A = this chain, B = another copy of it.
Amino acid sequence: MENFSFYSPTEFVFGRETENECGKYVRKFGGTKVLIHYGSGSAVKSGLLDRVKASLDAESIPYVELGGVQPNPRDTKIYEGIELCRREGVDFILSVGGGSCIDSSKGIALGVPYDGDFWDFYGTGKRVEKALPIGTVLTIAAAGSEGSGASVVTKEDGMLKRDVGSDLLRPRFSILNPELTCTLPPYQTACGATDIMAHVFERYFTNTSEVEITDRLCEAVLITMVKEVPRVIADPMNYEARANIMWAGTVAHNDIVGVGRSQDWNSHKIEHELSGLYDCAHGAGLAVVMPAWMEFVMNHNIMRFAQAAVRIWGCEMNFEKPEETAMRGIRCFRRFLHDIGMPINFAELGAKSEDIPVLVEKLGLGDRKTGGFVSLSSDDVAEIFRIAANAEL
């Protein structure tokens, strides 16, 4: 096990009707003037936004609003938010939505107290020194942003998708009411589930040995997803299955299952180019990229892939041909993704093989390699895209 530090100070408030407590939590964490940041009209139409406002009113906390965050959140909305917060003297950001909304909120949070361009922090490793506090009311189990210090934003000019990470961007509190996810369409539900599973797999495929505890915790989350996701696809209003998925999504990405081990994250990096170019859902892109990545790197550690097949997918171990078991696990994953309604190749995603050179070019590796479980060159990435393009069940 490698040395690590683990810090997840977010207060998670989980369960039915918990959105009515958000005013109380804004007060607890010192907010006196709030920006309510949200995405599409569904938070408005469902009445959620009204309940959030009522809970702020009950605490006599004033607020301003900024809606319209898009999936793959844009820099332009963040500039708008920063200006609004400065003008109105906002000292707390309340994010009502999914990962895109929370990531946009984090961009605003670090941008308000910063003299320069907030984009300076994205993709550069520049250290965040100050940020407004954030709270979230989560409406989709997916990105894990409600419990993480990460933010991914797309620069509209060139559709560049870049990220930043800092403990200062971890929400002070996150309100997780599974009921709010019951109205999500199956496709979005499945995209979120895929993202959650990918967050665990990115940690699971490691070059660190002797990490039994985090291996087992990773498997715990994945086994839960394998059981619960088909239940909500078949029965979207199933509260219990929604609840298990929602908490799994948080646990998957606050790093409790990933500490002390090297991680990969190349599938995420590669996928960002797909959703950057085609503006597809991140989870859908991952469904196409991740099994292809697995096939490409499998030989680097056959036994780890066999372990995944046996422990997560319940495959019988083939002791004579472990590589057969390893491959079977990857096929189980792709079959699972297909069964929950995810695309499994370029055609189903709406991507084009002839764009592969453009996708590789945009990733910008040049002659460098991108490290992880296996270091990948531009040629390797192109090959992963080719496997993804032509994948079948």
Chain A residues packing against B (C-beta within 8 Å): 1-16, 18, 178, 209-214, 216-217, 219-221, 223-224, 227-228, 240-241, 243-244, 247-248, 251, 256, 259-260
- How far is A240 from B212 in the complex, measured between Cα atoms in Å? 9
How far apart are the CA atoms of A5 and B173 in the complex, in Å?
A: 10
| CB pair A256 B260 closer than 8 Å | no
User: Known interface pairs A5-B13, A15-B4. Does A247 touch B224 (Cβ–Cβ under 8 Å)?
Assistant: no
Report the bound CA distance from A213 to B252 in whole Å.
11
Q: Return A314 CB to nearest CB of chain B, in Å.
A: 12
Would you call A219 and B217 a contact (CB within 8 A)?
A: no
User: Cβ of A210 and Cβ of B244 under 8 Å apart?
Assistant: yes
A175 to nearest B CB, angstroms?
A: 10
With A5-B12, A6-B14 in contact, is A213–B220 under 8 Å at CB? yes
- Nearest chain B CB to A354 CB, angstrom units: 42
On whether the beta carbons of B2 and A213 are closer than 8 Å, the reply is no
With contact pairs A213-B224, A240-B210, A260-B243 given, residues A18 and B3 touching in the complex (Cβ less than 8 Å): yes
A2 to B11, CA, bound (A): 17
Question: What is the CB-to-nearest-CB distance from A18 to chain B, in angstroms, rounded to a whole number?
Answer: 7
Let me know if A251 and B213 touch, CB within 8 A: yes
What CA separation (Å) do A248 and B216 show in the bound complex? 10
Q: Decide: A5 and B1 in contact? CB cutoff 8 A.
A: no
Which residues of B have CB within 8 Å of A210? 240-241, 243-244
Task: Give the docked Cα–Cα distance between A243 and B212 (Å).
Answer: 10
Q: Which of B13, B224, B260 contacts A212 (CB 8 A)?
A: B224
Chosen A-B contacts, 22 in total, with CB atoms closer than 8 Å, are A1-B15, A1-B243, A3-B18, A4-B14, A4-B15, A5-B13, A8-B8, A14-B259, A14-B260, A209-B240, A212-B224, A212-B228, A213-B224, A213-B244, A213-B247, A213-B251, A214-B247, A216-B219, A217-B217, A217-B251, A220-B220, A247-B259
